[in-house]
Amino acid sequence: MAEVRLMKGNEVIAEAAIRCGCDGYFGYPITPQSEVMETLMIRKPWEETGMVVLQAESEVASINMVYGGASCGKKVMTSSSSPGVSLMQEGITYLAGAEIPALVVNVVRGGPGLGTIQPAQSDYYQTCKGGGHGDYRLIVLAPASVQEMNDFVDLSFELAFKYRNPAMILSDGVIGQMMEKVTLSPYKARWTDEEIEEISGSWATTGKKANRSKNVSTSLELDSDKQEEFNLHLGRKYKAMEENEVRYEKISCDDAEYMFVAYGSSARICQKAIEICRERGIKAGLLRPITLYPFPTKQIKEMVPQLKGVLSVELSMGQMVDDVRLAVNGAIPVEHYGHVGGIIHSPEEIADALETLIIKA
């Protein structure tokens, strides 16, 4: 029977990891997500499922531990918050370059620099455009509730392994710190060595068996022709993701003349803003990207004919709005509205912004 609990988003990440058969977690404390590792340490999954949990010496070490563990075909993850994730950029691009499936959770706080420990969504660029160097993409899931913090752990691993690509859960301090009702997932067994051999035997470094040639986890290619072919291969993979893995939610969109685009905690606030708008006689709706990469470009585009304008609402100075604009491609006005620095917009402010930035502009 499904278990219902009252839990913090961060705690749920830990619980979901254990239950989905995650093999290893490597992390380093940072507010507002330290509860992920703390919960794991209290839960002692090594006694229950055999999952390894290790506090690393730094975020640089933890992402590289993830690279090492995940290169063995294991389900391995880390979590951190913005400054820690910045430190992981080299490791993340290595994961992408070696095509290693793994999960990174970013519970975003405000920046730049040390900034504030309060919630923000100002790491969209870093996450979706490539914080590291080179041409690569992460699979990015943006939970808007504690329940989704639960659900997306398993989903992230599934997508990561499907595409041999690192995945990121892009959360924020609100979703990480809040408690909500959550229905926990049933336990899944960790993969056995045989299952790993079956699923990832062509690439995972599990020790060279006599029946196969050696596996090497690497992102190095000194031959430019081969490197280009590899980059093009990645490009095709990303294309496939764009075609098959876009996830989003539409709220009150059927008759909408104006549409908010917002993810995560901002999307929740927009839901309330819609009510306010509709009380004011404005037909507003919300398209909530659940996957930030692949981005619901097509879905936004499809809405355009019925719309008079779009407002991208983010806890940032305007980052996702680029992708919204690229989707709309000049057909109707697109504007950005958002608070930053740990301040959370109120539903009223959002409704007002729609009026001033779009309707009356």
Partner 1 sequence: MTEEIIIAGFGGQGVLSMGKILAYSGIMQDKEVAWMPSYGPEMRGGTANVTVIISDERISSPILQKFDTAIVLNQQSLDKFEEQIKVGGTLVYDPNGITKEPTRKDINIYKIEGNALATELGNAKTFNMIILGAFMKVKPILSLEDVEKGLGKSLPERHHKLIPMNMKAVQCGMDNIKVVQEL
Partner 2 sequence: MTEELKDIQKEENIVYKKSSLLTDNVMHYCPGCTHGVVHKLVAEVIEEMGIQGDTIGVSPVGCSVLAYNYIDIDWQEAAHGRAPALATAVSRLHPEKYVFTYQGDGDLASIGCAEIMHACNRGENIVVIFINNAIYGMTGGQMAPTTMIGQVTATTPYGRDVKLNGYNMKITELIAQLPGTCYVTRESAHTPASVRKTKKAIRKAFENAGQNKGTSFVEVVGTCSSGWKLTPEKANEWMVDNSFKEYPLGTMKDE
State the residues that interact with partner 1 by CB under 8 A. 4, 6, 31-32, 117, 173-174, 177-181, 222, 265, 268-269, 271-272, 275, 344, 346-348
Examine residue 54 and tell whether it contacts partner 2 (CB under 8 A).
yes
354/178 Cα distance (integer angstroms) = 27
Handedness of CA 46, 49, 55, 60 (dihedral sign): positive
Strands 179-184 and 334-337: unpaired
- Report residue 252: phi and psi, to 5°: 55, 35
Q: What SS3 class is residue 19?
A: helix
Q: Specify the residue, 4 or 317, whose C-beta has the smaller distance to partner 1.
A: 4
Residue 205 interacts, among partner 2, partner 1, a second copy, none and using kind-specific CB cut-offs from 5 to 8 Å, with partner 2
Residue from 11, 59, 123, 151 binding ligand TPP (CB under 6 A): 59
Of residues 282 through 321, those in contact with partner 2 by CB under 8 A are none
Nearest 5 degrees, angle CA 271-CA 289-CA 114?
A: 90
Residue 29 interacts, among a second copy, partner 1, ligand TPP, none and using kind-specific CB cut-offs from 5 to 8 Å, with ligand TPP
Of residues 116 through 155, those in contact with a second copy by CB under 8 A are 116-118, 120, 122-123, 125-126, 129-136
Find all residues with CB under 8 Å of 216, minimum gap 6, and list them. Answer: 205
Q: Say whether the peptide bond before residue 32 is cis (omega within 30 degrees of 0).
A: yes
Give me the least distance between CB of 347 and a second copy, in Å please.
18
Q: What SS3 class is residue 258?
A: strand
Q: Specify the residue, 145 or 319, whose C-beta has the smaller distance to a second copy.
A: 319
Hey, what are 120's tokens? 């923000």
C-beta separation of 16 from 82 below 8 A: no
Interface with ligand TPP by CB under 6 A: which range of 5-13, 83-91, 197-205, 298-306? 83-91
Q: What is the rounded radius of gyration, in angstroms, for the C-alpha atoms of the chain?
A: 21
Looking up tokens 């306010």, which residue turns up?
A: 276
Find all residues with CB under 8 Å of 99, minimum gap 6, and list them. Answer: 164, 165, 203, 234
Residue from 18, 22, 72, 300 binding partner 2 (CB under 8 A): 72
Give me the least distance between CB of 171 and partner 2, in Å please.
18
Give me the least distance between CB of 286 and partner 2, in Å please.
35
Report which of 30, 186, 48 is spatially closest to residue 109, judged by C-alpha positions: 30
85/64 Cα distance (integer angstroms) = 12
Enumerate binding residues for ligand TPP (CB under 6 A).
Answer: 28-30, 59, 83-84, 87
Query: Under the rule (CB under 8 A), what is the footprint of partner 2?
Result: 23-24, 26, 28-31, 34, 37-38, 41-42, 44, 46, 52-62, 64-69, 71-72, 74, 76, 83, 90-91, 94, 98, 113-114, 205-210, 214-220
Residues forming contacts to a second copy in the complex (CB under 8 A) are 60, 82-83, 85-87, 89-90, 93-98, 108, 110-118, 120, 122-123, 125-126, 129-136, 218-222, 224-232, 234-235, 316-317, 319, 322, 325-326, 328-331, 339-343
